[in-house]
């Protein structure tokens, strides 16, 4: 019913992934999908664009209803509409929250580079603590290391959580999130929970929105999300924050007032239709992504010196290249395989690359074939 085996050529469309990589590579980097958005979204955007007046819009109840019914449908939770705060996109929403909270920003590494950059962008100090891997290579928070680090760094105000996690693909359990809430409570932190990947969940994993973890989490968090990743519409930005605590919410609303442009009428249509009408498309997408994940894991397991994490969520996988002995695996794959990944260095971890497997199977196969050939040629 839905087709994920073709993507119209993107090269030359002014897109970052294909047109901004400094050469001719198979682009397996930027976190958008080389797949078309749902046809219903495309039709709705065209319909709206055909009305020739692009005047000031109103973000009325119809849009808050999208969010309320989303939390009901996915989490059986009756979200009070007043908890919703519209923000231009997830990262600007996080940036403004960090500026409002002031103080040192804490995050784990590896971490999505734009979360790592929040500190520099807001001119605030940063405290980074590595995740650890269990005996099966699964990443988890390192509570001991986090306690030690925060004890030595007074002034931490904010913990930025990426849940599900980019790039290690973890869906944190309710128990782990409860432990994080305890940690943040003991140290007086506010949690910024970036949940932009929360609809891209595989197998029987269950995502828990941070504000639903317990009473403390509800009162001390700002959750940010949007349909950008799931429906492949990041260039039609429209996102929201959930801020249950009234005082924190009023402070945030006052802080961000005047900082955002009026909502974009095309983005509003994309938002409304993706949240309300694209459930079947999303289920089909998840089947495609999961099948790509399985294929990619199996292929990478056969490549000398590489280990890939098992994705519980997201279309971004984290490849450990350290056993290859390559000094700069990112450059090796660009120069010898013609494949462009994200460089682990930008996530705080040299020796790793991040692959984006949200594309047609043909594109993924070509990238994996070229990777494997380059690694085998090196072995001689």
What is the closest distance, in whole angstroms, from the C-beta atom of residue 174 to ligand PLP in the complex? 20
Q: Give the residue with the Cβ less far from ligand PLP, 79 or 168.
A: 168
Q: Is 196 in the site for ligand PLP (CB under 6 A)?
A: yes
What is the closest distance, in whole angstroms, from the C-beta atom of residue 91 to ligand PLP in the complex? 3
Q: Is 29 in the site for ligand PLP (CB under 6 A)?
A: no
Site for ligand PLP in 130-189 (CB under 6 A): 162, 166
Q: Is 90 in the site for ligand PLP (CB under 6 A)?
A: yes
DSSP 8-state secondary structure symbol assigned to residue 37: P
Asked if 263 contacts 57 with a C-beta cutoff of 8 angstroms, the reply is: yes
**Total count of residues recorded for the chain:** 380
Q: Give the residue with the Cβ less far from ligand PLP, 33 or 79.
A: 33
Q: Give the residue with the Cβ less far from ligand PLP, 4 or 112.
A: 112
Q: Is 237 in the site for ligand PLP (CB under 6 A)?
A: yes
State whether the Cα torsion 168-170-176-181 is positive or negative.
positive
By C-alpha distance, which of 306, 314, 272 is closest to 289?
314
What mask of x and - would describe binding to ligand PLP in positions 276 to 295, judged by CB under 6 A?
--------------------
Q: How far is CA 283 from the centre of its chain?
A: 18
DSSP 8-state secondary structure symbol assigned to residue 201: B
CA dihedral 163, 168, 169, 172 (to 10 degrees): -40
Q: Give the residue with the Cβ less far from ligand PLP, 26 or 236.
A: 236
- The contacts of residue 186 (CB under 8 Å, 6+ apart) are none
DSSP-derived 3-state class of residue 105: strand
Site for ligand PLP in 97-116 (CB under 6 A): 112
Report the DSSP beta bridge partners of residue 241: 85, 224
Q: Is 233 in the site for ligand PLP (CB under 6 A)?
A: no
Report d(CA 93, CA 325) in Å as an integer: 40
Q: Give the residue with the Cβ less far from ligand PLP, 90 or 171.
A: 90
Q: Is 89 in the site for ligand PLP (CB under 6 A)?
A: yes
Considering only 68, 100, 236, 239, the residue that binds ligand PLP (CB under 6 A) is: 239
Considering only 228, 273, 278, 326, the residue that binds ligand PLP (CB under 6 A) is: 228
What is the closest distance, in whole angstroms, from the C-beta atom of residue 362 to ligand PLP in the complex? 23
Q: Is 317 in the site for ligand PLP (CB under 6 A)?
A: no
DSSP 8-state secondary structure symbol assigned to residue 163: S
Q: How many residues bind ligand PLP (CB under 6 A)?
A: 14
Burial class of residue 2 in the structure, from the number of CB atoms within 10 Å of its CB (0-12 exposed, 13-18 middle, 19+ buried): middle
- Residue 132 has phi, psi (to 5 degrees) of -115, 165
- Which residue ranges make up the site for ligand PLP (CB under 6 A)? 31, 89-91, 112, 162, 166, 194, 196, 226, 228, 234, 237, 239
């Amino acid at each position: 019913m839905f087709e994920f085996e073709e993507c119209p050529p993107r090269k030359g469309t002014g897109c970052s992934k294909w047109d901004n990589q400094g050469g001719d590579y198979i682009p397996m980097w930027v976190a958008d999908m080389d797949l078309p958005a749902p046809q219903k979204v495309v039709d709705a955007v065209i319909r709206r664009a055909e009305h020739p007046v692009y005047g000031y819009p109103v973000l009325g109840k119809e849009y808050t209803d999208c969010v309320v019914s989303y939390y009901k449908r996915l989490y059986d939770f009756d979200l009070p509409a007043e908890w919703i705060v519209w923000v231009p996109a997830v990262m600007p929403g996080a940036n403004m929250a960090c500026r409002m909270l002031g103080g040192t920003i804490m995050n784990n590494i590896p971490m999505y580079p734009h979360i790592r950059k929040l500190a520099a962008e807001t001119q605030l100090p940063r405290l980074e603590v590595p995740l650890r891997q269990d005996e099966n290579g699964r990443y988890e928070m390192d509570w001991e290391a986090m306690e030690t680090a925060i004890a030595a760094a007074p002034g931490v105000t904010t913990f930025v959580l990426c849940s599900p996690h980019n790039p290690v693909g973890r869906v944190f359990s309710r128990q782990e999130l409860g432990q994080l809430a305890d940690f943040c409570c003991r140290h007086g932190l506010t949690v910024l929970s970036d949940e932009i990947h929360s609809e891209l969940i595989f197998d029987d994993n269950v995502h828990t929105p941070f504000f639903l973890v317990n009473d403390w989490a509800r009162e001390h968090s700002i959750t940010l999300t949007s349909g950008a990743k799931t429906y492949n519409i990041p260039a039609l930005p429209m996102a929201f924050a959930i801020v249950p605590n009234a005082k924190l919410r009023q402070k945030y609303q006052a802080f961000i007032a005047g900082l955002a442009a009026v909502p974009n009428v095309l983005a509003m249509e994309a938002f409304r239709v993706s949240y309300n009408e694209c459930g079947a498309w999303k289920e089909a997408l998840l089947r495609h992504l999961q099948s790509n994940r399985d294929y990619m894991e199996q292929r990478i397991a056969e490549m000398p010196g590489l280990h890939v994490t098992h994705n519980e969520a997201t279309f971004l996988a984290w490849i450990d290249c350290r056993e290859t002995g390559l000094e700069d695996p990112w450059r090796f794959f660009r120069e010898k395989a013609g494949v462009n990944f994200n460089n682990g260095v930008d996530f705080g971890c040299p020796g790793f690359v991040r692959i984006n497997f949200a594309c047609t199977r043909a594109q993924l196969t070509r990238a994996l074939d070229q990777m494997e050939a380059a690694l085998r040629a090196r072995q001689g």
